Structure 1
Amino acid sequence: MALSLVNLCAKEVVSNHCASPHWLRWVPSELYGPLLEASLAGCRPLTVGELVQKWPERHLRIGGRRKRGQRPPSRLCVQALLLAVVRGLSEKRCALQVLDLCGLQGDEGPMVDSMGGWSLTIALCTMVVQARAGERKRVCARDRERDQRKRVKEENSDNSDHVEQSLGVFQGPRLANLEKRIETTGMHEKTESGRPPLQVRADIFVNARSWERVFAALNASGPLELQCRYLHVEEISMSSIGTLLGHLPQGGLLGVDVRYSHLGVGGLAQLMHWLAEFPHLRSLCLHYCNLDLRWHQPMYEEALQDLSRGLAQLRGLRRLSLTALRLPGQLRVMLSSLPQPLEVLELPYLSLSLADLSYLSCSHHASSLQQLDLSENRLNGQTLPSVCRLLGRASGSLRHLSMSGCGLSDDLLSQLLPALGSCLALRSFDFALNPLSTASLIKVLRMVARLPFMKQVLYPNPLEDYQPGLPELPSSAQLLDWPLDDLAENNVTGDLLEKILKECGRPDILLTCDLLNYDRELTE
């Protein structure tokens, strides 16, 4: 991406931190944004701190969707930014009232310099609590100073006759002026202490170790107010989730992501009841939540009905992601009660049955889907017609399709290709870990080359690339663990597919078989 002249100049200006005292006081407010962007991209934490501490605008957004090749800010830059926000509370030049950090988190790992979601949450909560403690210290110091002034004023009042006699009658007007200045100063301090808190909007990640700190920050009443846009919780109880939701502003929460928590069908229904209090909720993700299903118990059907009624209250929901919930045959219960059609539906590892796929292909969600994930749901000759019907109804809107690990053989894929070719809005197609031959891969590539908006394809290693010994129709787990031969290690298949795309006039499509580094968001 070519940089503009302003961006190039900003990059050069922030490259020398020693010169910042000379140019910072003369910078117009409209150039703070490019300078901060250049400081974050060039990992200049000192300059980041100086700019944020004197931020001239009411709103500052750091984060959001990153462009292709753009890295998240480094850990040092994020720490400098947070420290500067606290320091800016007492800076007269700082006009900041809303700090938006949604989407700021990067990858977290030993070889990654960015700050992950969990670390960023801890840093934010620590900043909010410390700012409250600092505000208390400043208030206490101000109160002590005011009390001291009051005592001085009382002593001067008691000894006014002695003062007038010893200093003369002209001291009276001077004393009146002094009292007026004391009262004016007190009024100014009251105005500063009563200003609204600075809003910090962020995605919050909570687990058992960070729950208490997050809870303390959400309840902190001080110069900073933490507001949650997307709540990610992992391995905490239903009661703790309910407590967190009870302390979040109802108008701000946009999404909830629950992972590895023991919910149960009754707990899931209770969660829907809590979430109904948030009118702007658009996203709900439930990953690997043990529902503790006991099919033989009479309360099971009643719990499912409670769950259906709870989902009916989520009127703004547009994204639903369910991973390994173990609810085969119950997709109608989960989706039919939703009042508005979904735009994003992710159903990996859900053991979808024929009844589930048949309902989905005829549901009110089918024609509105923009993103569909059916990964790790094994398809066969009976279920494939429903999938083809679903793709046909979603052909006008579907932009991202994932069918990894679905057991697609050469024969099944040939039946799927006509429906897939009708999805003209597709931008990405993921069909890794399917037992396909090289000839079938070539057919898929020639078909996706005709889709005008296609940008990225995640393809499987063909069966010819594996070492001998695979069964005739291997599972996705077997394909993942089985060793590849020397030709596959040299990416011979990838070179062949790239050549075919060039022959079709589509060298712009990104091909990859790398499961770990595949990023569907780059297609936007």
Structure 2
Amino acid sequence: MSVRNPLRLLDLAGMSLLRDEASTITALKDLPTELFPPVFMEAFYGRRSETLKAMVQAWPFVRLPLGGLMKMPHLGTLQAVLDGLDILLAQKDHPRRCRLRVLDLRNTSQDFWRMWSGYRVHGCSSSLMAQVAEDRSRAEQPRAPLEVFIELHLKERTLDGFLTYLIRWVEQRKASIHLCCKKLRILSFPMENIMKVLSMVQLDCIQEVQVNCTWHLSTLAVFAPLLGQMNKVQRLLLSNIHMSALGGQEQQHVVQITSQFLRLHHLRDLHLESHSFLEGCLDQMLRCLTNPLDNLAITHCLLSDSDLNHLSQCPNISQLKGLDLSGITLTYSSPELLPVLLEKVAATLQELYLEQCGIMDSHLETILPPLSCCSQLTFFSLRGNLISMAVMGKLLRHTSGLPRLSQELYPVPQESYSSQRILQPGRLAQCRAELFEILRVLGRPRIIWISSSPCLHCGDNTFSHPQPIVYR
């Protein structure tokens, strides 16, 4: 009789230790390093508070990735770990064996527990390798305040019990604890609570910020000085910021917000979505960018000709890898602005989104020459625009020489609709056959997707999951 997945001697030893909590605590000073993670896991899932408290004080690794065990945060286990840290912090001389510098409460680092618990890990993940290198660097530095890493998703009206307890604990120990967060996401959270939480966080640790709140411009202006202190931010997403008519006070708010970009020296990805205040003010923000961007998304906003002109002249977009102008009506602008913009980014551009831009045949034809020069382009989406079969054929011919282009999303040709803008399956099948023939004549293996969704003008959503047109 065979036994599937038998327990290892290491597992049995850990389980044996935990039968007597007092003996476990006594044995910690002689416990082999490789036994610490599996014994800790057993104590964690068994909610053995005293054992957890003692193990924290003897933890032989630089990082304790507690968040990797906490699918659902349990306040009791967190309290036990923090109680252990309190005892550790109160000691003038740390135990010789303890190397703990970081308590990681993020839902990451499962590889650490798998590795030490005997599960097969097929190679080390890049994140684990980076973390090991980071921890090795920490271990070589003079002892500094303990770092506690969390992910902040502020999306409720009030703070939950877990975060409330942690914030209070950090507040009482600010001299010896640094609360760090690399990703900050704010969804419908009162500004008073935001200020309270962020007053406890090391703002210069934050690398990614997402604000997806229906805020008035004045509220964003209150938040802006905090954003300016996040000087390590690499990725910033702001959406749904609204304002009344642009008066003197509103103009002052715009200046307060855009001036903070001067402090974001590491910003690489900028995403601005559904902003009513950008029209006529985009140049103020662009002037405050201090370094070249890798990705820029300005979507579902109103932009004037002068905004697009300033965008095409901005020196910090000349190295863009990704450009998204979806939902920006480009048909009212001067016809040369979009081609000029594409010429500026043609050498580096890898992804281009022009969805729901009101683009029709005449507009598309003007961008075909610069588009055909985007030699690094891998992804192009033109969904939600009104394009004829004739111009789609020209588009396929102009892009056939792009060596890296592998994902192409195009709108259903106009000829596939009736005069009442109803999609006709028979006409669509004929258009697909004609497009396949164009691909065959061009002779290059290629996959294109034809979709009628989203379509800003006709609202049709009956063809959201199309089959690709494949030529191999």
Gaps of 5+ in 1: 1-15, 27-49, 57-78, 105-119, 143-185, 471-482, 519-524
Indicate if the aligned counterparts of 2:183 and 2:209 stay in contact, CA closer than 8 A.
yes
Out of 480, 484, 488, which is 2:423 matched to? Answer: 484
Deviation at 1:385, TM superposition (A): 0.7
Q: How does 1:418-457 map onto structure 2 within 5 Å?
A: 418-457=369-408
- 1:364 and 1:322 mapped to 2: Cα distance? 19
Aligned to 2:189: 236
Q: How does 1:396-415 map onto structure 2 within 5 Å?
A: 396-415=347-366
Q: How does 1:46-445 map onto structure 2 within 5 Å?
A: 53-54=37-38, 90=55, 95=61, 97=63, 99=65, 126-127=73-74, 129-135=75-81, 195-201=100-106, 203-209=151-157, 211-212=159-160, 213-220=162-169, 227-264=180-217, 266-290=218-242, 292-295=243-246, 297-327=247-277, 328-380=279-331, 382-445=333-396
Deviation at 1:96, TM superposition (A): 7.5
Out of 464, 473, 483, which is 2:415 matched to? Answer: 464
* 1:412 partner SS: helix
Indicate if the aligned counterparts of 1:199 and 1:225 stay in contact, CA closer than 8 A.
no
Deviation at 1:403, TM superposition (A): 0.6
Counterpart amino acid of residue 211 in structure 1: L
Gaps of 5+ in 2: 13-33, 108-150, 455-463, 467-472
Indicate if the aligned counterparts of 2:342 and 2:367 stay in contact, CA closer than 8 A.
no
- 1:510 and 1:358 mapped to 2: Cα distance? 32
Indicate if the aligned counterparts of 1:427 and 1:454 stay in contact, CA closer than 8 A.
yes
Deviation at 1:374, TM superposition (A): 0.9
Deviation at 1:219, TM superposition (A): 4.8
Deviation at 1:139, TM superposition (A): 9.7
Q: Which has the higher strand share?
A: 2
Indicate if the aligned counterparts of 2:62 and 2:102 stay in contact, CA closer than 8 A.
no
Deviation at 1:359, TM superposition (A): 0.7
* 2:7 partner SS: helix
Deviations 1:421-457 (A, max 9, x none): 1111111111101011122222222222211111211
Structure 1 pair 380–131 and aligned structure 2 pair: CA distance change class (3 A):
same
* 1:511 partner SS: strand
Indicate if the aligned counterparts of 1:231 and 1:257 stay in contact, CA closer than 8 A.
yes
Structure 1 pair 484–386 and aligned structure 2 pair: CA distance change class (3 A):
same
Indicate if the aligned counterparts of 2:267 and 2:291 stay in contact, CA closer than 8 A.
yes
* 1:288 partner SS: strand
Counterpart amino acid of residue 18 in structure 1: R
Deviation at 1:23, TM superposition (A): 8.7
Deviation at 1:402, TM superposition (A): 0.7
Structure 1 pair 415–21 and aligned structure 2 pair: CA distance change class (3 A):
same
- 2:196 and 2:419 mapped to 1: Cα distance? 55
Deviations 1:14-53 (A, max 9, x none): xx99314149779xxxxxxxxxxxxxxxxxxxxxxx9995
Aligned-pair identity (%): 22
- 2:427 and 2:39 mapped to 1: Cα distance? 53
Deviation at 1:240, TM superposition (A): 2.7
* 1:433 partner SS: coil
Deviations 1:244-295 (A, max 9, x none): 322222342111111133142x3323322112222211111111122x2332
Indicate if the aligned counterparts of 2:47 and 2:77 stay in contact, CA closer than 8 A.
no
Deviation at 1:512, TM superposition (A): 5.1
- 2:403 and 2:304 mapped to 1: Cα distance? 33
Aligned to 2:20: none
TM-score with structure 1 setting the length = 0.61
TM-score with structure 2 setting the length = 0.67
Deviations 1:387-421 (A, max 9, x none): 11111011111111111111111121111111111
Structure 1 pair 189–133 and aligned structure 2 pair: CA distance change class (3 A):
same
Indicate if the aligned counterparts of 1:198 and 1:225 stay in contact, CA closer than 8 A.
no
Deviations 1:140-180 (A, max 9, x none): 9x9xxxxxxxxxxxxxxxxxxxxxxxxxxxxxxxxxxxxxx
Structure 1 pair 396–187 and aligned structure 2 pair: CA distance change class (3 A):
closer
| Larger radius of gyration between Structure 1 and Structure 2 | 1
Aligned to 1:33: none
Aligned length: 376
- 1:267 and 1:240 mapped to 2: Cα distance? 13
Structure 1 pair 313–351 and aligned structure 2 pair: CA distance change class (3 A):
same
* 1:379 partner SS: coil
Aligned to 1:171: none
Indicate if the aligned counterparts of 1:217 and 1:226 stay in contact, CA closer than 8 A.
no
